[in-house]
Structure 1
Amino acid sequence: MTRRAYVHRIAAASPDDTSGIEAAIAAGRIDPSGIVAIFGKTEGNGCVNDFARGFATQSLGLMLKQHMSAEAAHAVCLVMSGGTEGGMSPHWTVFERRDTDEAPAGGPALAIGRTRTPVLPFCDLGRVAEVDMVAAGVRAAMQDAGIDDPDDVHFVQIKCPLLTVQRIGEAEAQGGTVATRDTLKSMGLSRAASALGVGVALGEIGRDQIGDGRIAADWSLWSGRASCSSGIELLDHEIVVLGTSPNWSGPLVIDHAVMSDGIDIEPVRAALRRLGFAADGQLSAAERTRLVALLSKAEASHDGKIRGHRHTMLDDSDISATRHARAFVCGALAGLVGHAEIYVSGGAEHQGPDGGGPVAVIAERVIPNA
């Protein structure tokens, strides 16, 4: 008995629009018992008060409970990334796995693992304790996927918590301290610590290199496969590992790239070519049918420049830099792949080099002589 991964990209008309997923279940394209995670790009500002993420999470949770027990529905990782600035199209990416009798063929196939960590104490957010919690969680998710070698992991998606004024008050009332009293800054600290946890688990970063003072400060430390999104709608970490394994079957494969800045699409083009795309220019309509999902991080470089030219993303007091970066990177990637139904998450602290970010490509395998 092997496992087979299925990935479904489904348009969303609003944060509570689960009709596309429900239609796929009714038609038999999705077996709800096999759903392990749903990534969502939802309208909203992507900041502390983006309640569209919670609205989407609640809507998806209620929908799932119609098809499975409350316990099973809670186990599904619902990773909502707020903000569809520019032309980015709101959508869901549903990850499913099924047991199958078919033998693995054609090389390693997409493998999916997941886990949830314990609730993170508020005083640990953005500190080494969060790094260690996430590293342990990534290893658990790898085990769930049946992936032994960290080199076979291509993308780790994490939804992590943030601080609110109430949460800060609870921590201080218990005699603790928090890493920051700035709730917006807490989002970046949580993403940063989570990304470093991924780097430690995958052997990209030595655990002895990390101290509280280097989190969201030393940009020389980064993971090329971490994607972390923080939100108000949870207190733990939801962790989804995407990689390859010879013990999984099916036509889906995955590769990854690291953009060095927001317009560095050539590494992504190279990943597409490794998966059998011509990618000589923008993907053709025929090639786009093989492209199942494109997942990316986006970040405004801290030096205020892109290839020597000044940008103003960090100087805009009206719009968060993460919102600018999401739109900017989505536009660059959309020009390459030919559509804007792309999962771009803003805030890439320690996720790729400063100003850049990791990208994962999930596609259908090329079948020789097909």
Structure 2
Amino acid sequence: MPECLVFRVPTRHPADVSGVMDLIASGAVAAAEILAVFGKTEGNGCVNDFTRHLAVIALETALAGALGCTPEAVGARVALVMSGGTEGGLSPHLLVLARRDGAPAADTAALAIGTAFTADFQPEEIGRMAQVEATAAAVGRAMAAAGLDDPEDVHFVQVKCPLLTSARIGEAATRGRTVATHDTYASMGLSRGASALGVALALGEAEGAELSDAAIGTRRDLYSGRASASAGIELMRNEVIVLGNARGWSGPYAIAHRVMRDGIDFLAIQGVLADLGFSMSGQLTPEDSERVVALLAKAEPSHDGLIRGRRHIMNDDSDINATRHARALVGGVAAAAIGRTDLFVSGGAEHQGPDGGGPVAVIARVRT
């Protein structure tokens, strides 16, 4: 019987993989068991955030040494999802997710994980239906790998997706191809949005007839309540990690999710915690806080410039990108609920929850 292992380790800088290697050296996890690593790095989260690529290179190199293979081989099988931006009080860290087979049988559903990758996209496919459809197919494969037959048992789907650069746009032009946008920053949102709509399509949250190139980035009424997409310069494919609760899996962990209606929806976070059996009377106690191994959330400033009828300036600040404001806001709200700041809060929630809101999921130890 498989068991999903989850470890949270702090990092001192984007290339710090010592915590992961310590886990391997101690025998807590074998390098071959690792399926995915989520990371929060202290870059700006924008097109030129190379902290993500630095972290990926460091992880591929270190795991290659442990596995006796090339870094390219590590990248081919391990989903490395680096999300830039630790504004406010967010703490840089890594989440290591692994699968161990041969665990004792359990009589209840437990945390399950499955991964899948798309083929590399051509620049002209990014932010368009080709990316939507390829992502939906990858979600289906990842669900099958996790033994999750019912979409209702899926609580979070993390996607790492590519973006457009000037060089990639130019390469498409040499082949007579057009791209979804010539604005490289806007391409991040279109890529995230197409990826999220792929999740929505796979999970039955959206119908194929509703989706089109024109709907991506414009139809804010179309979204997934379980998708989290993070765009980066370090890849050209989509890497998909599906997390849910499945029978046939063992281990102490479970996952639950809700959808935050805006950036200050504290009650949605508390609702997730209640779903996992925590007694809610304000911030978690230190003991309960440590039972929470991961909080995963999306952050996005509302397009109307309002939060519950009151004006915000996130979209109007030319000095600090709006997604950076949003990460700090949601990170503070989440930290107030959990009582810790090493939380995976990712900016840019196009088609990931309602406008100004986003999914939030918690992985916690619910059994001893």
TM-score by length of 1: 0.97
In structure 1, what is the equivalent of residue 300 of structure 2?
A: 299
Q: How does 1:82-121 map to 2 (within 5 A)?
A: 82-105=84-107, 107-121=108-122
Q: How does 1:26-37 map to 2 (within 5 A)?
A: 26-37=25-36
Q: Over aligned residues, Cα RMSD in angstroms? A: 0.9
Query: Please, which runs of 5 or more residues in structure 2 have no aligned partner?
Result: none
CA offsets per residue over residues 136-182 of structure 1, 9 Å max, x none?
11111111111111111100000000000000000011010001000
In structure 2, what is the equivalent of residue 57 of structure 1?
A: 56
In structure 2, what is the equivalent of residue 199 of structure 1?
A: 200
3-state secondary structure, aligned to 1:249:
coil
CA positional deviation for 1:242: 0.3
Tell whether the 8 Å contact from 1:276 to 1:366 is kept in structure 2 after alignment. no
In structure 1, what is the equivalent of residue 229 of structure 2?
A: 228
Which stretch shows the higher mean deviation, 220-229 or 286-295? 286-295
1:75 to 67, 74, 77: 77
In structure 2, what is the equivalent of residue 165 of structure 1?
A: 166
Q: How does 1:1-370 map to 2 (within 5 A)?
A: 2-68=1-67, 69-70=69-70, 71-105=73-107, 107-366=108-367
CA offsets per residue over residues 43-77 of structure 1, 9 Å max, x none?
10000000110000000000110111332453100
Distance 2:125 2:117 in 1: 17
CA positional deviation for 1:259: 0.1
Tell whether the 8 Å contact from 2:196 to 2:229 is kept in structure 1 after alignment. yes
Query: Please, which runs of 5 or more residues in structure 1 have no aligned partner?
Result: none
3-state secondary structure, aligned to 2:346:
strand
Distance 1:55 1:317 in 2: 27
Distance 1:33 1:212 in 2: 39
Distance 1:204 1:265 in 2: 24
Q: Quick one: which amino acid aligns to residue 259 of structure 1?
A: M
3-state secondary structure, aligned to 1:314:
helix
Q: Quick one: which amino acid aligns to residue 320 of structure 2?
A: I
Distance 1:270 1:97 in 2: 28
Distance 1:365 1:359 in 2: 18
TM-score by length of 2: 0.98
Tell whether the 8 Å contact from 2:60 to 2:74 is kept in structure 1 after alignment. no
Aligned residues: 365
CA positional deviation for 1:290: 1.0
Tell whether the 8 Å contact from 2:285 to 2:339 is kept in structure 1 after alignment. yes
3-state secondary structure, aligned to 2:316:
coil
Tell whether the 8 Å contact from 1:64 to 1:73 is kept in structure 2 after alignment. no
CA positional deviation for 1:366: 4.2
Distance 1:127 1:114 in 2: 22
Distance 1:73 1:240 in 2: 14
CA offsets per residue over residues 212-232 of structure 1, 9 Å max, x none?
111110100010000000000
3-state secondary structure, aligned to 2:294:
strand
Identity %: 54
Distance 1:197 1:293 in 2: 24
Runs (4 or more) in structure 1 with deviation over 2 Å come to 69-74
Gap change, CA 1:127 and 1:67, over 3 Å in 2: same
Distance 2:327 2:191 in 1: 18
Distance 1:86 1:290 in 2: 23
Distance 1:161 1:366 in 2: 37
